[in-house]
A and B are shown apart, each in its own frame.
Chain A
Amino acid sequence: MYINFLIDRFDKNKKDCAVIWNDKEYTYDWLIQCIQHFKSQLQKYKELEKSVVSLEADYSPYSIAMLLSLLDRGCIVVPTHDSLVKAIKEEYNDIAEVEHFVKIKGDNFEIKHKKIKSVKNKLLLQLKNQHHPGLVLFSSGTTGRSKAIVHDFTLLLNKFSERRNPKRIIPFMLFDHIGGINTLFQVLSSTGCLVIIQERSPLEVGKTIEKYKVQALPVTPTFINLFLINETYRKYDLSSLETISYGSEVMPESTLKAINEIFPNVKIFQTYGLSEVGVLSSKSKHAASLWVKVWGEGVKTRIVDGVLQIKSHSSMLGYINAPSPFTEDGWLITGDMVEQDGEYIRILGRKSEIINVGGEKVFPAEVESVLRLISGVEEVVVSATTNAITGQMVKAAVRLNTNESLGEFRIRMRNFCRDKLPAYKIPQKVVLTSKELHTNRFKKNRKLI
């Protein structure tokens, strides 16, 4: 019942390709049949209705059909990426009070039931009492402990009530990420086509764009950096690309400039989203601008003490395991520090990631943007480290493709930064590493350093 509007659209576009997976095309007709098949299988489990269900999977036509089937039964779904380590999966399942486990195995699935006392969390109970399907997402915890975010799925679905132009899109963000869920429903609600990749590497993405004439690529700035560094765009015909959208972390100015130069005919724009509010409609001032307007039906923004606050109909109900980030009058404190220019904002970085050097504020993204312009720098992550003289100092972990010693690189770095950054923003501590400095979600890994 909750997904009837989607099924109607699928039915009207039966012959269109919904998913390309393992080099095989699956039509909307196939998807409808798979959903019906799963729904009839799930009927055998009465206790599943309105329960908290972990769906362990990656993108596949089967996992998509199962997600829709579970939501239709009013389940509160906890999408769990199958690559997560066992301990994390168990931690997430405990926090979300998971009652049943559904695991997709190829074209089939298995169900396990957990013997636990009845669900206690107020937000989960609220959804159950309202007979609303839900979604529990975990923040990536790039800089701290993961938070369990509870959404009323009926509110998230509102955004997709209008059908947009169907496009071929690579769902780059993972299945258990708000960006991944957003891409999935954006494509399904417009009866576009999800082109699923097995490996999130620049080469695989380039190859897939060429082979399946992919039109839209939603990615992170870190991935764009890697895409540019290994010059994937020279190896494949990427002329089918119409849009590249970026979000999930701060875009370095230098990366934005470079991607615009390489893809002058591709519309490049920023999206703004948080696991707590979903992905909101946004419009960049122009392709090479980091200024963005966040808008949408029922979306309001305001800035308090430099921090963006949002009021939106699609906001989460709350966290299971963390204090409420809402103000008393219902605004979500995003934690993102921003600058404002009329109706546009520019995201500077997370308030929690600001480095305080002797009272001066430093945003890691600004320093990273300059450092990555230095020849030989493949990846860089900037963070704070303590120092008794200035309180904190700027630390940079750098992956180089040169054979320089630390001292040689430091001299080159300081000379390069001299006329681009004030002294307090130039990293005082530099660590050279051969490790990748991003997570498997292609976000900068500040925990690593």
Chain B
Amino acid sequence: MNKQLIINIVLESVEEINHILEDKIPVQEGEYAYLYDWSHGYLDSFSLVSLLVCIEQAMEDQLNMKLDLVNLNHLADQNNPFRTVESLVNHIIDLSNVNDLKNENKIKT
């Protein structure tokens, strides 16, 4: 999985969501920009949902990859993956690796 591609998708989606935010997410901070965090976050639950849906649709359109970023089973195992751009990118990579594994298993069986 090309990490840079995913970073680009996330940052493009953040730029899109910034249009509806009064307090904009500092995209120039790249991976270190806070997203959804109790003390430093810029998103509320609705704008978080909008951001995640944007990313899911972009992943599907650009990488032909269907992901459920709010997979509760997966979320239970980790700290808030939506805290920063970096944690979100890592979360996406984790999920896509799980998907790849599943696909490989499907092919084997």
Do these two chains interact?
yes
Chain B 15-38: CB-based contact to A (< 8 A → 1; otherwise 0): 010011000000000000000000
Interface size on B, residues (CB 8 A): 21
Q: Is B61 an interface residue (CB 8 A)?
A: yes
User: Is A414 a contact partner of B20 (Cβ separation < 8 A)?
Assistant: yes
Residues of B within 8 A of A415 (CB): 19-20
Contact of A424 among B12, B46, B48, B57 (CB under 8 A): B46
Q: Whole-angstrom distance from the CB of A358 to the nearest CB of chain B? A: 7
Q: Whole-angstrom distance from the CB of B17 to the nearest CB of chain A? A: 9
User: Is B20 a contact partner of A388 (Cβ separation < 8 A)?
Assistant: no
Chain A 177-193: CB-based contact to B (< 8 A → 1; otherwise 0): 00000000000000000
- 8 A Cβ contacts from B56-86 to A: 57-58, 61, 68, 70-72
Q: Is A95 an interface residue (CB 8 A)?
A: no
Q: Is A423 an interface residue (CB 8 A)?
A: yes
- 8 A Cβ contacts from A147-205 to B: none
Contact of A387 among B12, B47, B49, B57 (CB under 8 A): B49
Contact of B53 among A357, A414, A429 (CB under 8 A): A429
Q: Which residue of B lies closest to A414 (CB)?
A: B20
Q: Is A428 an interface residue (CB 8 A)?
A: yes
User: Is B12 a contact partner of A407 (Cβ separation < 8 A)?
Assistant: yes
Contact of A406 among B45, B49, B57 (CB under 8 A): B57
Tell me, in angstroms, the Cα distance from A7 to B33 when the chains sit together: 79
Residues of A within 8 A of B48 (CB): 389
User: Is A358 a contact partner of B12 (Cβ separation < 8 A)?
Assistant: no
Residues of A within 8 A of B72 (CB): 388
Q: Is B96 an interface residue (CB 8 A)?
A: no
Tell me, in angstroms, the Cα distance from A86 to B80 when the chains sit together: 53
Q: Whole-angstrom distance from the CB of A419 to the nearest CB of chain B? A: 12
Contact of A393 among B12, B49, B61 (CB under 8 A): B49
Q: Whole-angstrom distance from the CB of A400 to the nearest CB of chain B? A: 16
Chain A 395-439: CB-based contact to B (< 8 A → 1; otherwise 0): 000000000001100110011001000011010110000000000
Q: A406-B57, A428-B53 are in contact. Are A418 and B20 (CB under 8 A)?
A: yes
Residues of B within 8 A of A418 (CB): 20
- 8 A Cβ contacts from A289-344 to B: none
Tell me, in angstroms, the Cα distance from A117 to B68 when the chains sit together: 52
Q: Whole-angstrom distance from the CB of B1 to the nearest CB of chain A? A: 22
Tell me, in angstroms, the Cα distance from A424 to B46 when the chains sit together: 6
Residues of B within 8 A of A390 (CB): 45-46, 49
Which of the listed residues B12, B46, B61 has the most CB atoms from chain A within 10 Å of its own CB? B46
Tell me, in angstroms, the Cα distance from A358 to B44 when the chains sit together: 12
Q: A414-B19, A423-B46, A428-B46 are in contact. Are A388 and B71 (CB under 8 A)?
A: yes
Residues of A within 8 A of B90 (CB): none
Contact of B49 among A410, A411, A428 (CB under 8 A): A428
Contact of A407 among B16, B20, B45, B47 (CB under 8 A): B16
User: Is A411 a contact partner of B45 (Cβ separation < 8 A)?
Assistant: no
Residues of A within 8 A of B7 (CB): none
Q: Whole-angstrom distance from the CB of A431 to the nearest CB of chain B? A: 8
Tell me, in angstroms, the Cα distance from A415 to B19 when the chains sit together: 7
Contact of A388 among B57, B61, B70 (CB under 8 A): B70
Q: Is B54 an interface residue (CB 8 A)?
A: yes
Residues of B within 8 A of A428 (CB): 46, 49-50, 53
Q: Whole-angstrom distance from the CB of B64 to the nearest CB of chain A? A: 15
Q: Whole-angstrom distance from the CB of B24 to the nearest CB of chain A? A: 14
User: Is B46 a contact partner of A407 (Cβ separation < 8 A)?
Assistant: no
Residues of A within 8 A of B61 (CB): 406
- 8 A Cβ contacts from A336-369 to B: 357-358
Chain A 33-66: CB-based contact to B (< 8 A → 1; otherwise 0): 0000000000000000000000000000000000
Q: Which residue of A lies closest to B19 (CB)?
A: A411
- 8 A Cβ contacts from A217-245 to B: none
Given contacts A390-B45, A411-B19, could you give 8 more A-B pairs where the C-beta distance is less than 8 Å?
A388-B72, A389-B45, A390-B46, A393-B49, A407-B54, A410-B16, A411-B16, A429-B53
B contact set with A: CB distance below 8 Å: 12, 16, 19-20, 44-50, 52-54, 57-58, 61, 68, 70-72
3 A-B pairs closest in CB distance = A388-B70, A423-B46, A428-B50
